[in-house]
Every structure is written in C-alpha cells, then in structure tokens.
Amino acid sequence: MKKIFGITGLLIVVCIITALASESFLSGYNLENLVRRTALFGIISIGVAFVIVTGGIDLSIGSVVCLVGCGLPWMLKTYHLPLPVALAVVAAVSVGIGLLHGLIITKLRIQPFVVTLCGLMMYRGITRGFTRDQTFGFGSNYDGLRVLSTGNIPLPFIKGFAIPAPWITLLVVAVLAAIFLNRTIWGRYLFALGRNEEAARYSGINTDRMVILAYVISSTLAGLGGVLFVLDVNSAQPVDFGNVYELYAIAAAVLGGCSLRGGEGSIIGVIVGAALMQVLRNMIMLTTTRTNIEFAIIGAVILLGVIADELVKRYAVRRRAAKALAAGQS
C-alpha cells in the first residue's frame, strides 16, 4: 500500500512539473490523449504483471501487439473475413501464444527470458512476412468497433475533457484482475509460487498450471491491447508497431510495485505505473525539442525509483527485524 502512495506521489510531482513547464500539458486535447494512452498501456501492463508475480517475464508483448494489430486489419482486407471471425482468430492466436510459452517454460524448464525473447523476434518476423511490410488499417470502415478506442464519454458539467473509451475496457480488466489476484485461491497460489515455487508445490499446488495460466493472461491482454492500439491509430506498420511496448509494460509493473523476484504486485499500482510512464513521455515531448532522448530520461527515472524503493524496503526490514527481536526478548 505504501508503495502505491510513493508512486502516486511521484506521478503527481511529474504532472505538476510538466504543467508548470508547458502550458499545453493541461489542454483538453493533450490530457485526453494522455489518459487514452494510459488506458491502452495499462491493459498490457496488467497482463505482464501476472507473469512478473510468478517470478517470470514476458518480453514478447510488443510483438504480440504487432502480430494482432497488423494481423486483424490484414485479415479483414486481404481475406474479407467477417469481423467476428477475424476477432476470434486473433483471440485464439493470443491465447495460443501464451499457452505455448507457458508449456515450454514449465514442462521443458527453459527460462522465461529466453522463451519470450525468441517470441519477441518470431512474432514480429512472422508479421512482417505475411504483411510484406505493408501498412494496414481500417480506412473508414469499422467505425462502430473503433469507438472502443477512439470514443469519448463526456463528463457532466465539464467541458473540453471527456473520458476516453479505452478506460471502460481497462476498468473491466483491472477489476477482474484485482479480484482474481486478491480474492481467489488461484491468485493466492500465484503469489505463493512467485515467492517460493517449491514450497507451493509441496503444499499441493499445481504450480505448472498456474504459471501457464499467467502466460496465457499476459499474451491475451497483449492481444487485446494490440486490437485496441490499432483501432486507435488506424494504421499499423509491421516494422515498428508495438515496438518496445513490452518494456513500457514491464517498467510500469515494476514501478507499480511488482518485484521481478516474484510474489509481489498490485493492479492499482500497475495502472499508476503505466500512467507515470505516459506522463514522462508526454513531458519529454512537450518540454524539449529533442524527443530522441526519451529513453534516457525514462530509464533514469525508473532506475532512481527502483533504487529508492529498495532502500526504503531494506530500512523497513531492518526495523521490523529489530522489533521482532525486541518482542522475542521480552
């Protein structure tokens, strides 16, 4: 809980700094866009959070976004598939990718890093292959579906700002994810095996099945994100669509309190982390003329955040240990 306060505080500070540095930060257009991007990245970040809770990693997210984001309009345009069929295909592919990752990781005991790194390369390569590097979009069709990403929900009494539609999807995903993680036995199993897989297995938990589930959730939400991203921008280039999104997602999850050692994480934290990532990007875009240093700044902020968190944690552990000792002596 404390961690969420910390990251929320940081988010507010960065917002204030950006607002002071650039007038356009608080413009309705900018805010709307920022909030929309936060929702889209929030969805894929929640996905990777599940994997991180188990102590694993999913590096393939950006490429899954690419595969789905390019594949959906490609199927619609090239094969004129009915929309529900095309959506069913991308859903099946997303779930299948997670299943494949999970099975290789649990049954063959190959490190998640390696498996998903290969996925990162393969899915983008496959996409570039079948699209022949052509850009695909929806043109002026499917507006009804595109509302999911581009629509706005006007707020009563407030003009100039409306809640972007992806927040509906994000809220549904976030609520379901939070209930799953915190209220069901399977969520508890994920946390337990993330901290100590062996002890979880000795306690009668089918750890392999839970790990596979985490990878399925991750790639499914990446696929959902891919659909929403392409509905939003209406044009996907296989060369760079979704490029490094996995890093934004992982960074958001880590900033939001997920430990890469596993066993820790909260959904609210991940969403705040995703927001912080987007505000940082926005700040760089608005306040500097040299947006090419974006990664330098984002990298530095995350590093400082993680170091600060580690120091606070060590201090807390030492204090608690001293307390426990004092209690034991009395």
Partner 1 sequence: MSAPLLEVRKFTKSFPGVRALRGVSFTLSRGEVLAVIGENGAGKSTLMKILAGVQRQDGGELFLEGECIEIRSVHDALARGIALIHQELNLADNLDVAANIFLGREPHCAGIIDARRLRREARQFLDAVGLDIDPSVLVRTLPIGKQQLVEIAKALSTNARVLIMDEPTSSLSSHEAENLFAVIRDLRKRGVSIVYISHRLGEVKELADRVTVLRDGENAGELAHEEIDHARMVKFMVGRDLSQFYPHQPHTPGALALEVRALRTPANPQHEVSFSVRAGEIVGIAGLVGAGRTELVETIFGVTPALGGSIRIGGVEMVPQSPLDAIAAGLALVPEDRKQQGIVLGMSVRENVSLASLRRDQRHGFLNRSREAQLSAQMIADLRIKTPHDGQAAQFLSGGNQQKVVLGKWLALEPRVLLLDEPTRGIDVGAKQEIYRLMEELAGRGVAIVFVSSEMEEILGMSDRTLVMHEGRIAGELQRTELSEESVLHLATGTHSRATLS
Contact between 308 and partner 1 per CB under 8 A: no
Q: How far is the CB of 199 from partner 1 (least distance, A)?
A: 5
Residue 55 C-beta: closest distance to partner 1, Å:
11
Contacts 24+ apart (CB under 8 A), 192-201: 192/263, 193/54, 193/55, 193/262, 194/53, 194/54, 194/55, 194/261, 194/262, 194/263, 194/264, 195/55, 195/262, 195/263, 196/263, 197/55
* Part of the chain binding partner 1 (CB under 8 A), chosen from 24-32, 56-64, 302-310, 322-330: 322-330
Q: Which of 2, 107, 183, 313 binds partner 1 (CB under 8 A)?
A: 183
CA angle 225, 230, 232 (to 5 degrees): 95
| Closest among 311, 250, 227 to 60, alpha carbons compared | 250
Give the residue, chosen from 89, 91, 188, 247, that forms a contact with partner 1 under the rule CB under 8 A.
188
From the list 25-33, 66-74, 115-123, 204-212, the region that binds partner 1 by CB under 8 A is: 204-212
Q: Which of 191, 243, 286, 288 binds partner 1 (CB under 8 A)?
A: 191
Residues linked to residue 154 through DSSP beta bridges, in sequence order = 162
Give the CA distances from residue 85 to residues 88, 99, 159, in Å, rounded to whole numbers and listed in that order.
5, 21, 39
Region of 328 please: left (phi>0), alpha (psi -120 to 50) or beta: alpha
Would you say 57 and 118 are in contact if contact means Cβ atoms under 8 Å apart? no
Judged by CB under 8 A, does residue 204 bind partner 1?
A: yes
User: By rule CB under 8 A, what count of residues binds partner 1?
Assistant: 29
Is residue 77 at the binding interface for partner 1, with CB under 8 A as the rule?
Answer: no
Pick from 2, 107, 314, 320 the residue near partner 1 by CB under 8 A.
320
Give the H or E element holding residue 54: none
From 151, 186, 235, 285, residue interacting with partner 1 (rule: CB under 8 A)? 186
Candidate residues 205, 267, 277, 284; the one interacting with partner 1 per rule CB under 8 A: 205
CA distances from 92 to 69, 95, 240 (A): 14, 5, 23
Interacting positions 7-66 with partner 1 (CB under 8 A): none
Residue 241 interacts with partner 1 (CB under 8 A): yes or no: no
Work out whether 325 is an interface residue with partner 1 (CB under 8 A). Answer: yes
Q: What is the DSSP string of 244-288?
A: THHHHHHHHHHHTT--TTSS---HHHHHHHHHHHHHHHHHHHHH-
- Which one, 77 or 195, has the nearer CB to partner 1? 195
Tokens read off for 166: 């992806």
Q: Taking contact as CB under 8 A, which single stretch among the options 152-160, 166-174, 191-199, 283-291 is the one that binds partner 1? A: 191-199
Q: Does residue number 110 form part of the binding site for partner 1 (CB under 8 A)?
A: no
Given the rule CB under 8 A, which of 41-49, 139-147, 203-211, 223-231 is the region that contacts partner 1? 203-211
- 317 touching partner 1, by CB under 8 A: yes
Site residues (CB under 8 A) for partner 1, limited to 267-306 = none
CA distance 118 to 60: 8
As a whole number of angstroms, the distance between CA 67 and CA 238 comes to: 8
Return residues touching partner 1 (CB under 8 A).
Answer: 183-186, 188-189, 191-192, 195-196, 198-206, 263-264, 317, 320-321, 324-325, 327-329
